[in-house]
């Protein structure tokens, strides 16, 4: 196994998109940021230097971080932010994961431009469980604002309203042909007639689940979230923010150019969303576009599902299986039930009305089990946990919602106001955990991409309506469920996940729609190392940023 050393310099860089240039925060001046390529078993050492004017941290999304919780990255959860002028070196080893992950900033909305692909190939000497593709192409789906995304979220926080939706989606940083001033940069993916390209599709958008399609070409899904899947063929993908999907695409169509396209899967009725379409071009190398007649030969267009096509999402999501029988815990030690959803909080009396521009003069909020998560501001939760410092968080996050109700029905207004808190739930090292993630229809039903740090989990069942512990357990797949790090919980429905708490640390569980983290849709699992309550975690590295 190798050790890879990288230097990330976080800095302001002029980036021109949609006819306008603005200073974006990038890594090493690149947008999207550098692609990291490693083999399973390798170690990454990434020195991050902050030359921007914002605090920053980097999270290695989906990396298990076995016993390296200090390298996980979420601001105020496993570290204090790297201040302007500061630096921090993340060190971790890839253990047993293969496929596509990514890295992104985990401070405010910096990940709008601070992100990149993290490709994990099989151990040296091992091969893919599918025929080796001729080419491999990372496809990062992103979201672009015509203004500074940090200002967008600050404004939303100030007013309590929903933030402005994005102005474009992007593929590898480029909006593509269908937007103004964008054709020149449109990303091109090469393919050869009769040969295969492995597309590593990553949804790096901030707030939008996305459909993804390639004109006239079938996609063969072989992996997701750096786990292999039992291969299946589809014409359309749906990825929630945070999720990745690896697909094989064959050059089996007449030579030419075909659009690759992505646009919103918007499951919340009446909520505004960016309804534009981003494109790249799949181009047969055997017939590259001759410069002269390029404009004349338009790529073949594709039609994406309607923005509210939940049936397509359900069929896609139900197709995922692990390739073999897996070791999903058959019994559980912790049987947890977490509600996930929005809320609306009253305008605090000292606020002027103009500062509460949510529905009917309220402020938007979100919660799990009615707790609206608040990050600490002067120490990380992991430091407080490791050093036994009181007063930073409480370990009383409820195992069940404070009140059961019809999660798909009309809900009493009293439930619309979650209670702010910095709450964790302690898991005994090695315990077998089940979490039912139940969407509420408070304010609006919506598909929430729920991401767990430090773990992969099996999604053993999903469904619509209220989870019924008497009948829905019959639907549990304990044979070959998919292993993921982010679950798209169906709109107006639920998902059940299982994992074994074998990794000590403080691990965030949150909705990967960034605005929902701002509103509090998060909690933290605290896992000891199996040898006692205090001093349960390895000591932090000497350069860990302090507040
Ligand atoms: Cu991809 Cu908490 O993050």
Place of tokens 């399609």: 213
Residue 470: inside a domain, yes or no?
Answer: yes
DSSP structure class, residue 174: B
Ligand 1 atom closest to Cα of residue 453: 2
pLDDT at 352: 65
Examine residue 14 and state whether it is found in any structural domain, yes or no: yes
Ligand 1 center–CA 156 separation, angstroms: 20
From 321, 343, 375, the end of a domain falls on 321
Domain of residue 50 covers 1-126
pLDDT band at 534 (very low <50, low <70, confident <90, very high): very low
- Which tens digits make up the pLDDT trace of 236-247? 999 999 999 999
Residue of 427, 424, 429 whose CA lies nearest to 390: 424
Residues 137-155 have pLDDT tens digits of: 999 999 999 999 999 999 9
Cis amide linkage into residue 187, ω under 30° from 0: no
Do 257 and 171 lie in a common domain?
A: yes
Residues 164, 61 share a domain: no
Between 353 and 303, the higher pLDDT residue? 303
- List residues near ligand 1 (CB under 6 A): 59, 61, 74, 104, 106, 242, 451, 453, 508, 510, 512
Same domain for 40 and 142: no
What's the rounded mean pLDDT across residues 311-337? Answer: 97
Task: Examine the fold and report which residue of 126, 144, 160 is the final residue of a domain before the chain moves on.
Answer: 126
Whether the predicted pLDDT of 526 surpasses 90:
yes
Q: Are residues 115 and 174 in the same domain?
A: no
| Domain CATH for 211 | 2.60.40.420
User: Could you report the predicted ipTM of this complex, rounded to two decimals?
Assistant: 0.99
* 278 within 8 A of 170, measured Cβ to Cβ: yes
- Identify whether residues 121 and 173 lie together within a single domain: no
Say yes or no: 245 and 315 in one domain: yes
Burial of 318 (0-12, 13-18, 19+ CB in 10 A): exposed
210 and 340 in a single domain? The answer is: no
313 and 378 part of one domain: no
380 in any annotated domain? yes
C-alpha of residue 508 to centroid of ligand 1, in Å: 8
How many structural domains are present in the chain?
3
Residue 102 alpha carbon, nearest atom of ligand 1: 1
Q: Which pLDDT band, with edges at 50, 70 and 90, does 415 fall under? A: confident
Q: Which long-range contacts (CB under 8 A, 24 or more apart) does 349-357 make?
A: 354/159, 355/158, 355/159, 355/160, 356/159, 356/160, 357/159, 357/160, 357/161
Tokens of 109: 């909305």
Write the residue with the smallest CA distance to atom 1 of ligand 1. Answer: 61
Neighbours of 348 (CB within 10 A): 10
Could you tell me if 424 and 507 lie in one domain? yes
Q: Alpha-carbon distance 330 to 327, whole Å?
A: 8
Do 311 and 383 fall into the same domain? no
Residue 543 lies in a domain: no
User: Is there a domain that residue 534 lies in?
Assistant: no
Spacing, Cα 87 to ligand 1 middle (Å): 20
Do 417 and 467 sit in the same domain of this protein? yes
User: Please, what is the Cα angle at 420 between 415 and 423, to 5 degrees?
Assistant: 110
Q: For residue 508, which atom of ligand 1 is closest to its CA?
A: 2
Q: How far apart are CA 468 and CA 278, in angstroms?
A: 39
CA 203 to ligand 1 centroid distance, Å: 12
Q: Is residue 174 part of a domain?
A: yes
Residue 2 has pLDDT above 70, yes or no: yes
CA of 194 from ligand 1 middle (Å) equals: 38
Q: Which of 81, 97, 126 is the last residue of a domain?
A: 126
- How much is the pLDDT for 536? 55
Q: Whose CA is nearest to atom 3 of ligand 1?
A: 61
Establish if 389 belongs to a structural domain.
Answer: yes
359: in domain: yes
My answer on whether 281 and 306 are in the same domain is: yes
């Amino acid at each position: 196994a190798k050790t890879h050393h990288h230097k990330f310099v976080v800095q302001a860089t002029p980036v021109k998109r949609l006819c306008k240039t603005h200073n974006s925060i990038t890594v090493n001046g690149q947008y999207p940021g550098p692609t990291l390529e490693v083999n399973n078993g390798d170690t990454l050492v990434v020195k991050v230097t902050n030359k921007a004017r914002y605090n920053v941290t980097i999270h290695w999304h989906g990396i298990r971080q076995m016993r390296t919780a200090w390298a996980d990255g979420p601001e105020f959860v496993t570290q204090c932010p790297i201040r302007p002028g500061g630096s921090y070196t993340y060190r971790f080893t890839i253990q047993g994961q293969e496929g596509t992950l990514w890295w992104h900033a985990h401070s405010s909305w910096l990940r709008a431009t601070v992100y990149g692909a993290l490709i994990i190939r099989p151990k040296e000497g091992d091969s893919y469980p599918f025929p080796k593709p001729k080419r491999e192409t990372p496809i990062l789906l992103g979201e672009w604002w015509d203004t500074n995304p940090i200002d967008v979220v600050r404004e939303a926080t100030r007013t309590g309203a929903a933030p402005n939706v994005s102005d474009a989606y992007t593929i590898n940083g480029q909006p593509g042909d269908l937007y103004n001033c964008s054709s020149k940069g449109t990303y091109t993916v090469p393919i050869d007639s009769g040969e295969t390209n492995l597309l590593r599709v990553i949804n790096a958008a901030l707030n939008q689940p996305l459909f993804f399609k390639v004109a006239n070409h079938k996609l063969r899904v072989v992996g997701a979230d750096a786990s292999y899947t039992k291969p299946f063929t589809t014409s359309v993908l749906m990825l929630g923010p945070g999720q990745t999907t690896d697909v094989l695409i064959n050059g089996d169509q007449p030579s030419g150019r075909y659009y690759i396209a992505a646009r919103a899967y918007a499951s919340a009725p009446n909520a505004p969303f960016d309804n534009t379409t981003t494109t790249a071009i799949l181009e047969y190398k055997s017939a590259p576009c001759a410069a002269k007649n390029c404009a004349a030969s338009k790529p073949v267009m594709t039609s994406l599902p309607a923005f509210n096509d939940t049936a397509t999402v359900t069929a896609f999501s139900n197709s995922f299986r692990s390739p073999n029988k897996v070791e999903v815990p058959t019994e559980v030690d912790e049987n947890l039930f977490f509600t996930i959803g929005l809320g609306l909080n009253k305008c605090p009396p000292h606020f002027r009305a103009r500062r509460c521009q949510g529905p009917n003069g309220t402020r938007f909020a979100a919660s799990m089990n009615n707790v609206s998560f608040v990050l600490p501001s002067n120490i990380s939760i992991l430091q407080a946990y490791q050093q036994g410092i009181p007063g930073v968080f409480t370990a009383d996050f409820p195992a069940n919602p404070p009140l059961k109700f019809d999660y798909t029905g009309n809900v009493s207004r009293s439930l619309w106001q979650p209670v702010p808190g910095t709450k964790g739930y302690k898991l005994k090292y090695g315990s077998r955990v089940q979490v039912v993630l139940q969407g509420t229809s408070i304010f609006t039903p919506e598909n929430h991409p729920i991401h767990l740090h430090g773990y992969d989990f099996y999604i053993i069942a999903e469904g619509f309506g209220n989870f019924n512990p008497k009948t829905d357990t019959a639907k549990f797949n304990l044979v070959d469920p998919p292993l993921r790090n982010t679950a798209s919980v169906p709109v107006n429905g639920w998902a059940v996940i299982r994992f074994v708490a074998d990794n000590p640390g403080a691990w965030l569980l949150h909705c990967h729609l960034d605005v929902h983290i701002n509103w509090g849709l998060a909690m933290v699992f605290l896992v000891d190392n199996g040898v006692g309550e205090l001093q349960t975690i390895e000591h932090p590295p000497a350069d860990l940023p302090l507040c």
